Amino acid sequence: MQKETSNSRSVVVLGGGSFGTAIANIVAGNGHDTRQWMRDATQAEACREARENNQYLPGVALHPGLRISSDLHEAVQGCDIVFIAIPSKSFRAVVQRLAPMLKPGTMLISTTKGIEHDHFHLMSEILREETAGMRIGVLSGPNFAKEIVAGHYTATVIASEDEELCGDIQAALHSETFRVYSSQDIFGVELAGALKNIYAIITGMAAALDRGQNTISLLITRSLAEMMRFAEAMGADPMTFIGLAGVGDLILTCSSNLSRNYRVGYLVGKGKSLDRAVAEIGQVAEGVNTIRLIKKKAEEMGVYMPLVSAIYAILFEQRPIPDVIRHLMSGAQTFDVAYSAKP
């Protein structure tokens, strides 16, 4: 059933994946003029005919008010809000096409949890570089699309220095089962969304090796410590990482086979090559690309990230997992918590 709203917006979601489809369904259900753009004309036509996204969310009915198009100009024209749910490797190219079609003051919201491979740019930085006069935000949190569309209680974070934008996105997305919190630390929220993908790979490996919950707890908490160290070195607020976009998303991604990155790690832990694991998943696992970038950046800045080094050694140097584990467990035993609220 479509809700009545007195503040209806024109909204487009760019991307035909599971999360983009889930967001489009929520917005359409809230009574907004909603379109979804899919680059693949065949996919768009199939979704229009079946009224569901068979490829990414089979069995989930698309809202009757959601219009689907493979024509970018047609989809974007006159929109107030643009959600960009495009893999990081294609993000800049799509934004470059998009920029001339936008009206001044359009809200551009990235939902992509990744880092541009060539320049270590986050998606919000790409939006600023490729557009002018736009209002920019980032949406990130512990959000599996399949659970969102199934009506499970879910929360996310909209991050922007533009408080009015945060309020507008909260209004567009809020529903009985979907809550939206706000943050002004756009860099920290976005960095958290990119970093947590790395650590899902190693917890997937641990699960494949039948390690217990003690091991998973160890990995998740030390992953958070690494994320906070790296965030602080990059100029983000490390306290952002104790919220939904940080530890919330980390726990989710590191403990469920709904995570593509977790599944990649699981398959590698079972002895499959990285290429074979990625091919079996059949969707983009952003953590695989991100691990190279973070390792290089951490070494440049002198940030201690032993788990990142371990994952890199397994995936790209073909180091045996038992050898890497022994090396990790013989490392220096340092302080547990690096941050304190006490002066």
Active site residues per annotation: 196
All residues at 6 or more sequence positions from 337 whose CB lies less than 8 Å from its CB, including other chains = 225
Return the sign of the alpha-carbon dihedral for residues 32, 140, 243, 284.
positive
Are 22 and 46 a contacting pair, CB within 8 Å? no
Helix (H, G, I), strand (E, B) or coil at 284: coil
In the β-sheet with 10-14, what is the strand arrangement from edge to edge?
66-69, 33-37, 10-14, 81-84, 107-110, 135-140, 154-159, 178-183
All residues at 6 or more sequence positions from 213 whose CB lies less than 8 Å from its CB, including other chains = none
Beta strands in 99-230 (DSSP E): 107-110, 135-140, 154-159, 178-183
What gap in Å lies between CA 124 and CA 82, rounded to an integer? 13
What gap in Å lies between CA 177 and CA 175, rounded to an integer? 5
CA angle centred on 27, ends 60 and 249, rounded to 5°:
75
